[in-house]
Amino acid sequence: MNRSDKFWHWMGTIARQAIVILATLMSLFPVYFMVVSAFKTRGEYIANKWGLPTVPILDNFATAFAGEKFLIRFANSTILTVGSVGISLIIACLAAYAFARMDFPGKRAIFNVLLSLMVVPPVVMLVPLFVSMVHLKLVNTYPGTTLIYVGLLLPFSVYLMTNFFRTIPREIMEAAHIDGASSFGVFWRIMMPLSAPAVITLIVVNALWVWNELLIALVFMQKDELKTLMVGITALRSKHYVDIPVTMAGLFIATLPIVVLYMFGQRYFIRGLVSGAVK
Amino acid sequence: MMVALLFVFGYPVARLIMMSLQRTSKGQEVFVGLTNYMALFQDEVFIRAVRNNLTLVLNVPVMVVVALLLAIFLFERIRGWKIYQTTLFLPYLLPIVVVGLIFSYIFQLSGVLNEALVAIGLPQLALDWLGSPKLALWTIMFVIIWKEVGLGVVLFLARLMSVEEELFDAARIDGANWWRLQWHITIPQLSTVIEFFTIISVITMLSWVFNYVYVMTAGGPGNSTMVTELYVYLQGFRYNQMNLAAAASVLILVITGVLIFVQFRLRERAGEEETFA
């Protein structure tokens, strides 16, 4: 390498590092802004918007928690998330087992339909779903909304589990069959324990999705005491008087479960997304 | 395939189409032909919404290029690349609602951004980012890119990791410079993932941006950030014009349907040997 090559090599390295650092700072700034603001008094927020709080306070969190229906909303989001993730997981595992290891007519066709349903935007289904739900008297109920979420989660869930089940060698199943295990026995005692990583992936991806969802929650959980956290948060925007530090504390609490879940399943989460895309 | 598709989709879609051809009059559903569709195309707000969705599609090339560049840099193992990957992916994870609200405080007229601009002596750049009909859509576009780029980075990087090192080494030995290396090796190797990310992103821009708009501007100021999803929501669930909402949904379905079909074909082509091998 001659001197000028070396120079350009160095420049390239510095430029790359600079671009990546800039992008990272931009990614982090809103989160940083949320966190520091949550620990400031109103006075300090107005005087010093971007710096660290001089004296961090916790009052905002107390106020947010005590805030109008905050805990109810938090509970509503939790109920919907746990319910729909749990139910879709059970159905997806059973269906995926059939897709991966059984033969039935139309298997390929049904699987292809599932694939294309993965990206159908919910807004398209909003009107017919609402009409059906009104008929079934399921609007403004936990079961109704859970049902919709389960339906929306299933295509991706079945797809992911099927792909995973296919990687488990047939020989293991056949051996168990010869030993006299039933189909369900094979599923429950062999496939499921081997599938822990895929199951964790699915739980993380789906829980994030339901927790963050807005449109369905807005339409199907309209009653004030049924509103989810995300719907509650959007109402803040249009308020005339907003205590920004308290709001930030509330946003912080609303985001925390997601971040914890992500840290817990980061490896699995990325793997899940990638397998949904690359394959 | 078609039969199964009709079966699963059949009922809700048939229902949707029926509703889009009807109007409610004195509690009775009356067939009105294409009246609802005509009404849509004469509604300035709807036209505006469609135009805005199409403008949002301009995000896609930007997202692909930025994600590609970042993924390549990380792949070159610049110092701390793992930490960068985690932080770059963070935005994708956060609830849009939360992010949108934070950004609306950042972009307020008296928000952090403008204070910073004044502080560094550029008060003329301190604009009303979300409050001006000219700027609001662009501001939202920035937030969408900010949030969605991380997915691209992760997808591209994961694919790059599975490319055989020898390919890159061979090209380097042949004396390929950085640009040629990316152009002749990286991009062709990534082509299926790039296609996937592009189509998914186009679908997102056309039919998954409700949250951003609803939280940051609610379509305003003066419908300048109206999008088709918000239009469906407002017509159907605020103004009680279910039939109009149904017609708009049908149009969204047709457009995304075409894209979904394209994506499906690509997926089929890429995964032929994996699916039911």
Report domain extents, chain A: 3-57, 61-278
**A23, A238, A262 ranked by CB distance to B93: nearest:** A262
pLDDT at B275: 39
Task: Tell me which residues of chain A have a pLDDT lower than 70.
Answer: 1-2, 238-241, 272-273, 275-279
Distance of CA A63 to the CA centre of its chain: 27
Give the C-alpha separation, A199 to B102, whole Å: 33
User: Which residues of chain A lie closer than 8 angstroms to B274, CB-CB?
Assistant: 163, 279
Number of CB pairs, chain A paired with chain B, less than 8 A apart: 220
pLDDT at residue number B123: 85
pLDDT, residue B7, reads 58
Domain ranges, ordered by start, for chain B: 2-271
- The CA-to-CA distance between both ends of chain B, in Å, stands at 18
Residues of A in contact with B221 (CB under 8 A): none
Partners of B112 on chain A (C-beta within 8 Å) are: 33, 49-50
ipTM of the complex: 0.88
| SS3 (DSSP) at A270 | helix
Query: Do A23 and B211 make contact, defined as CB atoms within 8 angstroms?
Result: no
Closest Cβ opposite residue B98 in set A254, A266, A277: A254
pLDDT at B178: 82
CATH class of B2-271: mainly alpha
> Are A23 and B88 inside 8 Å of each other by CB?
yes
Report the 10 Å Cβ neighbour count for B86.
17
| B23: enclosing H helix or E strand | strand B22-25
Report helix, strand or coil for A167. coil
The reply to whether residue A274 touches residue B154, judged by beta carbons under 8 angstroms, is: yes
Neighbours of B149 (CB within 10 A): 27
User: How high is the pLDDT of residue A85?
Assistant: 96
Q: Find chain B residues with C-beta within 8 A of A121's C-beta.
A: 203, 207-208, 229, 252, 256
- Tell me chain B's radius of gyration from C-alpha atoms: 23
Indicate yes or no: CB of B98 within 8 angstroms of CB of A255.
Answer: yes
- State the fold for domain A61-278: MetI-like fold (1.10.3720)
pLDDT (0 to 100) of residue B274: 42
Contact B16 A270 (CB under 8 A): no
Q: List, for chain B, all residue ranges whose pLDDT scores fall below the cut of 50.
A: 1, 272-277
Give the single-character DSSP code of B126: -
pLDDT score at B210: 94
CB contact under 8 A, A126 and B151: no
- On the CB side of B137, CA atoms within 13 Å amount to 21
